Chains A and B, each alone.
Chain A
Amino acid sequence: AQSVTQPDIHITVSEGASLELRCNYSYGATPYLFWYVQSPGQGLQLLLKYFSGDTLVQGIKGFEAEFKRSQSSFNLRKPSVHWSDAAEYFCAVGAVGNYKLSFGAGTTVTVRA
């Protein structure tokens, strides 16, 4: 069975500072990996995804993530955070032929001025 761990429940970062959110997955084969963002009262928006190929993936809003098979990780980064990045971030894992998408518990990001 696939599973995702997001070790950080809450992260506070200053506007303009860099951000890194951790994600560790568990899956026997090559996973499909996703990062979604949920702004307050909103649905989930896809930031980026990894299916295969280049392990550094670029997404929307200036986010990127790096797939590291040896560490079973898919960490999300942004070099300079904006106040509008305050939201809940979810890492998710899926797989070929598997309908299920398993989500981590989420990381709440607070941006201080």
Chain B
Amino acid sequence: DTAVSQTPKYLVTQMGNDKSIKCEQNLGHDTMYWYKQDSKKFLKIMFSYNNKELIINETVPNRFSPKSPDKAHLNLHINSLELGDSAVYFCASSQSERGDTQYFGPGTRLTVL
């Protein structure tokens, strides 16, 4: 059983399109995250939700909108995609907000043409 899963694994799209990435965790965790890994493999947190409430919103363009329909899901919707959005996006989850271990999904490689 996959603990943190993401779909799709690969996403190739044109500039200006809107796309979504889905994330699900079956660990029973309260907190979920989205990270962006750039071409130099640097990982930076984008958002975090705890019990469906937004708790971290880093300096991310408002074209990115996370949505958490329930504790087990955190989706990422991106409007008006730009070339610079090309990256690998990782979802993660942790038991709570108390600096707990974060478990990562396999990543979604987004390529914007």
Interface residues of A (CB under 8 A from B): 32, 34, 36, 38, 42-46, 49, 51, 88, 90, 94-101, 103, 105-106
Q: Say whether, besides A44-B104, A100-B56, A88 and B41 are in contact (CB < 8 Å).
A: yes
Contact of A106 among B31, B41, B50, B106 (CB under 8 A): B41
Is chain B's binding surface mostly helix, strand, loop or mixed? strand
For this complex, 13 residue pairs linking A to B, each with C-beta atoms less than 8 Å apart, are A32-B99, A36-B104, A43-B4, A43-B90, A43-B107, A44-B90, A44-B104, A49-B101, A94-B99, A98-B99, A100-B48, A103-B42, A105-B41
Cα–Cα distance between A105 and B105 once the two chains are bound (Å): 19
Inside 8 A of A51's CB, which chain B residues have their CB? Answer: 99
Interface residues of B (CB under 8 A from A): 4, 31, 33, 40-45, 48, 50, 55-56, 90, 92, 97-99, 101-107
- From B42, B43, B55, residue with most partner A Cβ within 10 Å: B43
B56 touches A99 (CB 8 A): yes
Of chain B, the residue at the smallest CB distance from A51 is B99
Q: Say whether, besides A101-B45, A105-B41, A46 and B55 are in contact (CB < 8 Å).
A: no
A46 touches B101 (CB 8 A): yes
A100 touches B90 (CB 8 A): no
Cα–Cα distance between A101 and B55 once the two chains are bound (Å): 13
Contact of A97 among B44, B99, B106 (CB under 8 A): B99
Of chain B, the residue at the smallest CB distance from A106 is B41
Cα–Cα distance between A49 and B97 once the two chains are bound (Å): 16
Inside 8 A of B31's CB, which chain A residues have their CB? Answer: 99
Contact of A99 among B44, B97, B103, B107 (CB under 8 A): B97
